[in-house]
Structures are given as C-alpha cells and as structure tokens.
Structure 1
Amino acid sequence: MDIVVCVKHVPDAQGDRGFDDTDWTTDRQAVDGLMSELDEYPVEEALRIIEAGEGTLTVITMGPDAAADAVKKALQMGADKGVHVNDEALHGSDSVATSLVLAEAIKKVGQPDLVMFGMASTDGGMSVVPAMVAERLGLPQVTLASELSVEGSSVSIRRDSDTATERIEASLPAVVSVTDQTGNEPRYPSFKGIMAAKKKPVETWSLADLGIDPAQVGLDAAATKVEQATPRPPREQGTIVKDEGEGGSQLAEFLASKKFI
C-alpha cells in the first residue's frame, strides 16, 4: 500500500507568535518552527498500516526552506521518502492555493492508496484543506477519524462528536484526516531512525515542476488576508478586594465598572 501524508511546518505554539508588519502574514522568523503536532498522528497511523502489511510512506510539505524540518521529522519517525514544495511565490498562500499545490504534488508522486492529513494545523486550525484536496483529486474523503482501519479495498473510520459516534467507510483510494484522539501516541524518533533519515530521499519541487502558474498562489491570489493586527496588551496587575464585610459590594461595583454585569 502506498500512502502519502501531508504535513505542515508551523510556528511553535509555545513561542510568542505574531504577524510580520510588512504584509501581515505569519512571522516565521521571530519564533522557532516545527512539524504541526497534529500531523504526527496521521504519520503514526500510516506507519502502523504499513507495518501491518507492506508499502511505502511519502510525506509532502509546502513552505519555505525551514519547512524541510517537517519532512525530516516524519522521516525520522519512519517515513520512506519526502517531498518539499518550495517556491518564493508561495508566500502568503491561503488554504485554496495550498490545496492546489498539495494536490498537484500528490499527482506527481503517483496515485497513492491513501492520502492522509492531521485534523487541522496548529497555526491555522481551519480543517478545510483535506476536503479541498479530495475534491481536486476526485477522491472520496473520510475526515476527523478517531479510529482508522484498512481492509481490502476500503478504509473505515470512527468519527466521534459531542452527541454521536459515526462509522464511515469509503473505497480506496481515499483522503483521510486523523484527530489526536486515535489512542495511538505518535512515536518518538529513535537514534536509529534519526541516523536512517539522513539517507532517505527528499525531493524539492518548485511551482514550475508542478505546472502551477505563480499567479494562482501567494498573498495576491488569497481570498482573504489580514489588513491589520494589534499586539495583545501586557497583562495589568489585578485589583485585590479585602473583605471586611463589604467585599461583595466592592466586587459587584468592580464588575459593573468593567461592564461585566
């Protein structure tokens, strides 16, 4: 079975994330980046499927030079090869452009049996790219899987919500997105895996390699963009109310002054 997992290089959520005030895109220089933690789950599920049978796992990412680290992390976990789509014209691309680039990269890799994603990226959190890629590839999609199994020529998932649990099945090839509730914790790269990753093939493709017109991607082609952003003000010292019999009244007055009540 041939599986493709699309991963994203994102700013570390533990860092002080913000916008570049020259064009109001994500400032990727001010904070360290890493592979989106939610993308570790589809990599883990893909590896388990392959280990139960046979096949190859290819990881694809799109982004600037630093995004190569996301591919490297997946290779260290056990993926067989990687693809990095890197082109200056991609800067500022929205989810529509991202889905176009990923779909064309998947086509260039070949027709996999499964295309897998995390449930969302930890920076954008939109959860729409898997569906967009499925539409572009003309494949069925089963999304937000908390349990995943492949039998014969079909994939079956369990999708959990606040009110119900659904079981959904689709014929292969298909697009699947995986949540962080699968119960299978992503493996840590072992020393052997880290050393082996150095010898695994990684290809770097440009938009020209994919036959994509640069006018279709980037900030100018984006359907939405940030016009302005204001940094969150520093936290101010709180007000201490000493209860000497009138604490309740003082608290009510304070809440009323802030228009909370």
Structure 2
Amino acid sequence: MNIIVCIKQVPDSSRVKVDPKTSTLVRAGVPSILNPYDHFALCQALKIKQKTGATVTVLSMGPNQAQSVIRMALALGADKGILLSDRAFAGSDTWATSYALATAIKKIGSYDLVMCGQMAIDGDTAQTGPGIAYHLGIPQITFCDNIDTAEGKVIVRKIIDGGHQIMEADLPALVTMTMPFDYVASYPSFLGAFRAQNKVSLTWTAADIGADPKKLGLDGSPTRVDRIFPPPARPKGQIFNAGAGELADKVLEILAKEEII
C-alpha cells in the first residue's frame, strides 16, 4: 500500500498578530511549525505503515524553508518527502493549491490512500483536501478521528454533530483527519532524525509536475483575501456572589433585559 500525506508549514497561530493598519498577519519573529492537523494525519498514516508495511510519502507546497517539516516527517518515520517550491505557486488559494498538489500526486503515480489534515490553522477553510479529491476524481471522507484499512477499503470514524459515523470507501480514496481532544503529538527521536538523513527528499517545480501555469498562483485563484482582522474583544463578564435563590432571580432579570425570555 502506498500512502501520500499532504502536510503544510504554518506560523504558530498562538503567536500571530494582525497589523491594525494593513489588516495583514504579522509573521516577523513568529516560529513556523508543522500544521497540527497534518501532524495527526501523518501519525495515523505511520500507524497504518507499522501494521501493514505501507510506504508513506509526504507532500508539501511552500518556500524552501518548508523543507523543515519534510525533514520532521521523515524523522517521524515517513519514507520519502516531496516539496513543491516555485514562484509560480505564490499566492495560490485553496483551489490552486489543491490543483497543484493533485497534479504532483498524479506524477508520483502509484497511490492507494491520500491523507490530509482537516484544515490548516493559518486558514481554517478545510477546502484543500476535498479539492485534491475532486481533481483526482476519487472518493473522500472528511473530519475523521480514527482510520484503518482492510481488503482494499479504508474504514474511518467520521465526526458529526452530536456523535460519529463509521464509514468506508474503496481505495484509492482521500481522508481528512481531525484531532481527538485527548491527542498528544509525538515528535522525532534522535535516532529517527539520524536515519532521516539517508531518506529521499525531492523538490519539484511547476514545470516538473507539468502543471498548467494558468491554474497556479494568483492567476489560477478565483478567491482573494480582502482583509484580515481579529474578532472584537468580548466585554468582561459579571460575577455575582449570592445565595441560589437570589442568583436565579438575577439570571431571570438579565434574560428578560436581553429579551431572551
């Protein structure tokens, strides 16, 4: 079995701020990390590898500095890494990004399962994974927190409002992974990092994958980000110290004032 995991280098969202004058993200001095949802997807792929002997290839798109997340994935246990890096990719929205990644997957050739994180924490759109499935013409199951394979099928637990569904799809298929609340990320060991030095890591340009330049970058992106802004600050809450009966009356008073009741 051949598994391809799409990963992304993102700024640590806990450290990112928005410039109030330009309405853009302030990335200076903000460390870059492996997108947490992609990290979880990779670890699930490695569990399948351990169980079945599958080959795991990681695929990313970004500037040359994104090689750091490729190296991390190789140190965790992935077999091969590919980075799409070319000025032609700059400014790609989720549609153009999914086209580029799908085109690279077609160049890789043999694959059974494509795995992605639910979304990237620097965009929160959850559109790239489904876009890849569309371009490849394969079934997809999204928002899964557990995955297994058996007899040419992928079997997942898909999170839905109020519970979950157990679903399966014939391979090849694409699955996007969301993290359970109790998930704790694993990181490479020293031995894993040492062994990763001998693994294959490639860099492909738009020409290498045979991508249509008109479908990449800003020219190939039907959406534009007008501005980015933080949500308004919430007003401070009120704290009341009183007996249960008095507190209940106070709650009713507030609800009536807000015309909720």
**Where does the alignment leave 5 or more consecutive residues of structure 1 unmatched?**
239-259
Deviation at 1:200, TM superposition (A): 1.1
Identity of aligned residues (%): 38
Query: Are the counterparts in 2 of residues 146 and 182 from structure 1 also a CA contact under 8 Å?
Result: no
Q: Distance in 1 between matches of 2:73 and 2:152?
A: 26
Helix, strand or coil at the partner of 2:115: strand
Query: Are the counterparts in 2 of residues 41 and 178 from structure 1 also a CA contact under 8 Å?
Result: yes
Question: Which residue is 2:71 aligned to?
Answer: 72
Deviation at 1:12, TM superposition (A): 1.1
Question: Which residue is 1:12 aligned to?
Answer: 12
What is the aligned length? Answer: 247
**1:18-97 paired onto structure 2 within 5 Å:** 18=18, 28-97=27-96
**Are residue 203 (structure 1) and residue 202 (structure 2) matched?**
yes
Helix, strand or coil at the partner of 2:91: coil
Aligned-residue Cα RMSD (Å) equals 3.1
Deviates more, 1:215-224 or 1:187-196: 215-224
> 1:142-177 deviations in whole A, cap 9, x for unaligned?
111122111111111111223232111100111011
**Where does the alignment leave 5 or more consecutive residues of structure 2 unmatched?**
237-257
Q: Distance in 1 between matches of 2:122 and 2:214?
A: 24
> 1:95-148 deviations in whole A, cap 9, x for unaligned?
000000100111111221110001111111111111111111111111111221
**Are residue 178 (structure 1) and residue 180 (structure 2) matched?**
no
Q: Alpha carbons of 1:165 and 1:232: their partners in 2 closer, same or farther (altered >3 Å)?
A: closer
Q: Distance in 2 between matches of 1:139 and 1:230?
A: 36
Question: Which residue is 2:104 aligned to?
Answer: 105
The one-letter amino acid paired with 1:119 is Q
> 1:22-46 deviations in whole A, cap 9, x for unaligned?
9x77555542211101111111111
Question: Which residue is 1:219 aligned to?
Answer: 218
Q: Distance in 1 between matches of 2:16 and 2:141?
A: 34
Question: Which residue is 2:243 aligned to?
Answer: none
The one-letter amino acid paired with 2:11 is P
The one-letter amino acid paired with 1:227 is D
Q: Distance in 2 between matches of 1:25 and 1:213?
A: 29
